């Protein structure tokens, strides 16, 4: 009997994405899985049930989760959801494990093998499974679209008989995946773009997209990148120097887009109220880190607020604002990772606990929390004479 994959309707407020697509269903079928999609799961991603059916899935209900061997989700399952899963089921999702100890306990107690897709290592083998990259790419694009919608002026320079409209000046803070896509999108719309990042490697990437690089390039800057390619936390002295340079530059900008996130940490504060005050009235600041406290002082989660004459945009789940594209990419990430867990001969699930991808992403297994970053510390045993 074939293993079953269940793709549920997301229950988290504001989540419009889905963990499957017609293409991913077809791939799952070729891998030997039976696929059940909860009715309406793809509606907000513009995927009607009929498209899943054409791809080979059966349309079911939430109750089908109880018999599934694999559950493909966008957001971490709630306590109520995971309590209804089969012990031993494989659950793939964006788990947001930092600071959510109770949720990890719930998944361990349910006996599921839970995998955090956002912990996928950034290695060549895992590029096609990297949900942070696929979703951040779209977030960077959508940030510019949202900025253009809030900015009451044209983005490109326009020379007309009635006069010249100057190009908008866009400053992108953080040149990771989201930042680089924001740069590219703003350039396509005709803006004059500059960007900053604490990672030295980003300077060349920014320049390759036609943007000007802005940073304090001292010795600390030259060593400011982790082995995994993430930005390091900078010293207070460097932050002060960078803040001074940034404040001077921001005062001349029309749009600022901030993307700075450090895994498991509060978002660094990059823009203060004083910096916003120096910007021209009607300028726009897009904060892509608002779910971790925000890069912009005064940013409010899921709202557009005006601070010192600047529109500060703090939308949550920005990839979900472009759900049809986000779901298609995310579903491909999931099925590509799941494929590594399938025995090609028997066409059944076969977890390899020694696989580097499994080690990096598995949170719970066999009734316990197994990831070293989240497993409880062993109790110290007092020495006896």
> Catalytic residue positions?
122, 127, 130, 133, 230
Q: Three-state secondary structure along the chain?
A: CCCEEEECCCCCCCCCCCCCCHHHHHHHHHCCCEEEEECCCCHHHCCCHHHHHHHCCEEECHHHHHHCCEEEEEECCCHHHHHCCCCCCEEEEECCCCCCHHHHHHHHHCCCEEEEHHHCCCCHHHHHHCHHHHHHHHHHHHHHHHHHHHCCCCCCCEEECCEEECCCEEEEECCCHHHHHHHHHHHHCCCEEEEECCCCCHHHHHHHCCCEECCCCCHHHHCCECCCCCECCCCHHHHHHHHHHHHHHHCCCCEEEECCCCCCCCCCCCECHHHHHHCCCCCEEEECCHHHCCCECCCCCCCEEEECCEEEECCCCHHHHHHHHHHHHHHHHHHHHHHCCEECCCCEECCCCCCHHHHHHEEEECCEECCCCCCCCCCCCCCCC
CA distances from 284 to 74, 299, 321 (A): 30, 12, 18
For residue 194, the tally of other CB atoms under 10 A from its CB is: 21
- Between CA 46 and CA 328 the distance in angstroms is 11
Structure tokens given for 208: 């390759």
Contacts of 381 (CB under 8 A, 6+ apart): none
Beta strand 90-94 with 342-343: parallel, antiparallel or unpaired? unpaired
Give residue for tokens 């899963």. 85
């Amino acid at each position: 009997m074939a293993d079953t994959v269940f793709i549920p309707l997301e229950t988290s407020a504001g989540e419009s994405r889905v963990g499957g697509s017609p293409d991913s269903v077809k791939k799952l079928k070729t891998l030997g899985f039976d696929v059940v999609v909860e009715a309406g799961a793809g509606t907000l991603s513009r995927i009607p049930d009929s498209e899943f059916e054409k791809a080979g899935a059966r349309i079911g209900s939430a109750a089908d989760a109880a018999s599934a061997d694999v559950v493909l989700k966008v957001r971490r399952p709630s306590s109520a959801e995971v309590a209804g899963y089969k012990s031993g089921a494989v659950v793939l999702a964006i788990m947001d494990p930092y600071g959510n100890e109770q949720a990890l306990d719930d998944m361990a107690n349910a006996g599921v093998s839970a995998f955090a897709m956002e912990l996928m290592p950034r290695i060549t083998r895992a590029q096609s499974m990297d949900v942070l990259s696929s979703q951040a790419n779209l977030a960077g694009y959508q940030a510019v679209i949202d900025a253009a919608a809030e900015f009451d002026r044209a983005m490109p320079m326009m020379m007309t008989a009635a006069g010249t409209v100057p190009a908008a000046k866009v400053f992108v803070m953080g040149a990771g995946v989201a930042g680089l896509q924001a740069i590219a999108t703003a350039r396509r719309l005709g803006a004059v773009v500059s960007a900053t990042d604490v990672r030295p490697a980003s300077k060349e990437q920014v320049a390759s997209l036609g943007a000007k690089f802005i940073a304090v390039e001292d010795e600390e800057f030259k060593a400011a990148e982790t082995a995994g390619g993430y930005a390091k936390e900078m010293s207070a002295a460097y932050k002060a120097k960078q803040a001074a340079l940034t404040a001077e530059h921001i005062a001349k900008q029309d749009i600022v887009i901030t993307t700075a996130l450090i895994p498991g940490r509060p978002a660094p504060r990059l823009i203060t109220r004083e910096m916003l005050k120096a910007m021209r009235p009607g300028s726009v600041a897009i904060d892509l880190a608002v779910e971790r406290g925000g890069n912009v002082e005064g940013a409010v989660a899921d709202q557009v607020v005006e601070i010192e004459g600047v529109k500060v945009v703090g939308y949550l789940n920005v990839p979900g604002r472009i759900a049809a594209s986000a779901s298609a990419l995310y579903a491909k990430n999931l099925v590509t990772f799941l494929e590594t867990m399938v025995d090609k001969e028997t066409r059944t699930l076969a977890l390899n606990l020694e696989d580097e991808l499994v080690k990096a992403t598995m949170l719970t297994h066999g009734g316990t929390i197994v990831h070293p970053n989240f497993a409880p510390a062993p109790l110290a045993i007092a020495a006896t004479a």
